[in-house]
A and B are shown apart, each in its own frame.
Chain A
Amino acid sequence: MKSYDVAVIGGGLLGCFAARNLCRRKLHIALLEAREDVCTGISRANTAIIYPGYDHKPGTLKAELCVRANARFDALCRELDVSFSRCGSLRVSFGEKADAVLRKKYENGLLLGVPGLRLLSGEDAQRMEPSLAESISSALYAPTAGTVNPWELGIAACENAAANGAALFLSTRVLGIRRTEQGYQIETDRGHFSCRAVVNCAGLQADRVQELLFPSPVHIAPDAADYLILDKATGNKPSHIIQYEPEDGGKGFNAVPTVEGSLLLGPSERENETDFAVSAAGLSFVRERAGQVLPGLDLNDTIRSFAAVRPNPQRPDGSSIGSFVIEHPGLAFWSLIGIKTPGLTCADELGRYLADKLAAELGAEENPAFDPCRPGIRRARELPLSQRAALVRENPEYGEIVCHCEEVTKAEIRETIRRGAVSVDGVKRRVGAGMGRCQGSRCERTVMELLAEELGVPVTAVRKDGPGSEILEGGHGKN
């Protein structure tokens, strides 16, 4: 039986950041993930916004963490060597009711100390962002809003935790939890883990994981949402994050100029759907909203659509809970249940919060050896030509472009596999190969060959993402 101080259940964004922050203390950490790679559940699809924090009720943990997280985001991304674009956001309205909502949010933001907020007339907003529809009536400008690649961020946190000694157990599904004299014993499909403390970041399963030992007063009612991505070369792309404040109190909508240069549009919302299947109605909604807010967009430049699932926390009577739910049902047992927006923004702060609470309970000291920095994957395309040439002399595979759309080299793809990518999508999440306009149709074959070579498996065993997703299926057992 393996023995640790803390077992973190769930290797999504929250679990990875919990593990990272627990490493700030002298604690032995195990991170348990049911799938074969991290950030493949809720974290794999997201609006990618780093929120300025004006939305939340003063005095709540959400408000406190979001404003603080935003202020620290440049530093966090420097530590983790992750791209961050502080492009600012414009929340736009098309009528009096929504104008009033923006004013309220503005005042709320001032109370919370959100820096730089400005209420703009429709004309001023249009001057600032000419791609906006002429009919907008007002806008709330938040210069501190930004965007990251959520995969890059979560995987970076995981790598940083591992570099600081956290042990990562993939394809390890938690089946049961018992109390022991020392704390807890976790039963998994890969053996038992004994630990003094449990941090439950199991995403859509977080309520059920808590129920393995304690009752959960909160239940997760998942909902799905659809997104579209437009090619980076599309015209009339906004330079700010655009958020639509609905006049009728209905669904909002975002347009996010991503760090990769593409434009993310969405979400649509649907209730009580847990699969990652895209809905036609959802896509129609996204298209309609996009046309209304950013009329110059050419939706024929769509390169991909996808669905996200979000964990809505509910009370037993079915009413929704607006705040972050942090459960503490037993000594040294913490659960994050139903952390949605702004979960991405607050992931590191939530991890820090939990680590502080647990450190107090366990009496854990600071870990002076903790290194907050994680070197990112060296990207040839980001280097000046002279340095790039030097890199190719050092390793010729930095000269071989595999993904033509995103300019990813063979050396970079090998590096993702050395860092833990085990599937075509795992490579994509780490270095963007296959994320561009041809959606991997030109690089997938080479990526598959590199995976086979590095993992020492036949190419027929190479997966898209997870068990059962083998890309080549023909003739198995027949020839």
Chain B
Amino acid sequence: MEKTELLIIGAGAAGISAASAAWDAGCRDIILTDRLPYPGGVLPQCLHEGFGLAAYGSELTGPAYAARLAERLAQTGVRFLPGREVLAVTKEKTAVLSGSGGIEEIRFERLILATGSRERTVGSLALAGTRPAGVFTAGQAQEMINLHHWQLGDRIVILGSGDLGMIMARRFTLEGKQVLAVLEQGESYGGIARNYHRCIEAYHIPIFYRRTIREIHGMPRITGVTVENLESGERELLCCDTLITAVGLVPERELIRGLEGKPWLSLAGNCSRVHDLADSAAAEGTKVGSLVAGQLLK
């Protein structure tokens, strides 16, 4: 069994920042692991700009921001183990990793969980209607389009106007697809103002407030959704061939179920709470990394 002073699970903005900060603070025995084969987590699929204003004073794209984080990581002696899924973390301070290279057990003194968040899905909404092809979460669509150049559909409805919803509305528009509507149940868009101006306003994408989806139509492919006006109660059918759901992020903490509050465990980034900006998740990673390193060095 391998041993390390500090294990960090998740090599996104928060995890890399935590690892780098812990190294800078003097910790010399750090393992950083991620299920993806490369560092950066979700950043490489975020082709849009808007990253790094706080950290680097300039607006970077996701891949450029990830590259900066990776550069910083490379300057440390942190051992990076990509392409490994952590199967379990035990209360005996051991993590079990699985990858194509084998099953590894790592015993640690401290653990920083930086596993990010996952998307809420349409399944959790328990909508009436069919369960057809052509329904994607925004992040899933973003990965398919930006990293794999797949075409999902031509006439798009987006449920939810958080940052991911608005960014994907623009992304589909840039791909030449028709975004028929962004539907938001609140009275205003859900994400930050910058994304509203740059994605929705600048591209004249129709956004409707106080609206939600009540029913999905079509089988085997989606043909439309029933949209309800939450003010008047009126419902109308909106025809589409693709539905994108951007209905929120859930901190990904399944690995530490039952271990919450253990003195050797810290959380950083979106698994702790969902941050609006990668910079803010990274800053939290830096803070937690230095703090944990300081405690280890005592």
Binding site for B on A (CB under 8 A): 228, 233, 275-280, 283, 300, 302-306, 380-381, 385, 388-389, 392-393, 396-397, 399-401, 404, 407, 409, 437-439, 441-442, 444-445, 459-460, 463-475, 478-479
B29 at the interface (CB under 8 A from A): no
Is the beta-carbon distance between B127 and A399 smaller than 8 angstroms? no
Proximity string of chain B (153-187) to chain A, C-beta cutoff 8 Å, 1 when within and 0 when not = 11000000000000000000001010000000000
Known A278-B127, A404-B85, A442-B118: A392·B103 in contact at CB below 8 Å: yes
B291 to chain A, nearest CB (A): 28
B119 at the interface (CB under 8 A from A): yes
CB-CB nearest in chain B for A304: B123
Which residues of chain A are near B151, meaning CB under 8 Å? 460, 472-475, 479
Is the beta-carbon distance between A401 and B98 smaller than 8 angstroms? yes
B53 at the interface (CB under 8 A from A): no
Q: CA separation between A392 and B126, bound complex, in Å?
A: 38
Is the beta-carbon distance between B150 and A407 smaller than 8 angstroms? no
Is the beta-carbon distance between B220 and A399 smaller than 8 angstroms? no
B143 at the interface (CB under 8 A from A): yes
Q: CA separation between A468 and B219, bound complex, in Å?
A: 8
CB-CB nearest in chain B for A387: B103
Is the beta-carbon distance between A397 and B123 smaller than 8 angstroms? no
**B134 is contacted by which of A278, A283, A389, A473 (Cβ under 8 Å)?**
A473
Which residues of chain A are near B206, meaning CB under 8 Å? none
Report 21 cross-chain contacts, Cβ distance below 8 Å, ordered by A residue: A228-B126, A233-B257, A276-B219, A277-B129, A278-B131, A303-B123, A381-B87, A399-B99, A399-B101, A401-B35, A401-B85, A441-B119, A441-B136, A441-B139, A445-B144, A464-B220, A468-B221, A472-B152, A473-B133, A473-B153, A478-B154
Is the beta-carbon distance between B242 and A474 smaller than 8 angstroms? yes
Of B121, B122, B136, the most chain A CB neighbours within 10 A belong to: B121
B265 to chain A, nearest CB (A): 18
What is the total of A-B residue contacts with beta carbons within 8 Å?
Answer: 143
Is the beta-carbon distance between A438 and B132 smaller than 8 angstroms? no
Which residues of chain B are near A278, meaning CB under 8 Å? 126-131
**A473 is contacted by which of B99, B122, B123, B221 (Cβ under 8 Å)?**
B221
CB-CB nearest in chain A for B245: A441
CB-CB nearest in chain A for B220: A469
Which residues of chain B are near A470, meaning CB under 8 Å? 133, 221
B188 at the interface (CB under 8 A from A): no
Known A472-B150, A473-B221: A277·B128 in contact at CB below 8 Å: yes
Which residues of chain A are near B129, meaning CB under 8 Å? 277-278
Is the beta-carbon distance between B119 and A399 smaller than 8 angstroms? no
CB-CB nearest in chain A for B37: A400
Is the beta-carbon distance between A233 and B153 smaller than 8 angstroms? no
Besides A441-B118, A468-B221, 20 more A-B contacts (Cβ < 8 Å) are: A276-B130, A277-B219, A302-B126, A303-B124, A304-B123, A385-B103, A389-B102, A389-B103, A399-B102, A400-B99, A438-B119, A439-B123, A442-B118, A463-B220, A464-B133, A465-B133, A470-B133, A472-B151, A472-B153, A478-B154
Which residues of chain A are near B102, meaning CB under 8 Å? 389, 392-393, 399
B158 to chain A, nearest CB (A): 15
Which residues of chain A are near B119, meaning CB under 8 Å? 438, 441
Which residues of chain B are near A473, meaning CB under 8 Å? 133-134, 151-154, 221, 241-242
A297 to chain B, nearest CB (A): 14
A396 to chain B, nearest CB (A): 4
Q: Which 3 residue pairs are nearest across A and B when measured between Cβ atoms?
A: A474-B151, A469-B220, A396-B100
Q: CA separation between A441 and B164, bound complex, in Å?
A: 15
Is the beta-carbon distance between A444 and B140 smaller than 8 angstroms? yes
**A464 is contacted by which of B122, B132, B139 (Cβ under 8 Å)?**
B132
Q: CA separation between A475 and B150, bound complex, in Å?
A: 10
Q: CA separation between A463 and B134, bound complex, in Å?
A: 10
Is the beta-carbon distance between A469 and B100 smaller than 8 angstroms? no
B33 at the interface (CB under 8 A from A): no
Is the beta-carbon distance between A385 and B134 smaller than 8 angstroms? no
Which residues of chain A are near B123, meaning CB under 8 Å? 302-305, 439
Q: Which of B214-229 contact A (CB under 8 A)?
A: 214-215, 219-221
B254 at the interface (CB under 8 A from A): yes
Which residues of chain A are near B153, meaning CB under 8 Å? 472-474
B20 at the interface (CB under 8 A from A): no
B84 to chain A, nearest CB (A): 9
Which residues of chain A are near B175, meaning CB under 8 Å? 474
Q: CA separation between A370 and B13, bound complex, in Å?
A: 58
Q: CA separation between A380 and B83, bound complex, in Å?
A: 17
Q: CA separation between A167 and B124, bound complex, in Å?
A: 40
Q: CA separation between A361 and B151, bound complex, in Å?
A: 56
Proximity string of chain B (228-246) to chain A, C-beta cutoff 8 Å, 1 when within and 0 when not = 0000000000000110000
Q: CA separation between A105 and B115, bound complex, in Å?
A: 51
Is the beta-carbon distance between B100 and A400 smaller than 8 angstroms? yes
Of A233, A397, A401, A438, the most chain B CB neighbours within 10 A belong to: A438
Which residues of chain B are near A302, meaning CB under 8 Å? 123-124, 126
A408 to chain B, nearest CB (A): 11
Is the beta-carbon distance between B98 and A459 smaller than 8 angstroms? no
CB-CB nearest in chain A for B154: A474
Which residues of chain A are near B131, meaning CB under 8 Å? 276, 278, 306
Q: CA separation between A59 and B5, bound complex, in Å?
A: 69
**B140 is contacted by which of A381, A407, A445, A478 (Cβ under 8 Å)?**
A445
Is the beta-carbon distance between B133 and A469 smaller than 8 angstroms? yes
B137 at the interface (CB under 8 A from A): yes
Which residues of chain A are near B59, meaning CB under 8 Å? none
CB-CB nearest in chain B for A410: B100
Is the beta-carbon distance between B100 and A275 smaller than 8 angstroms? no
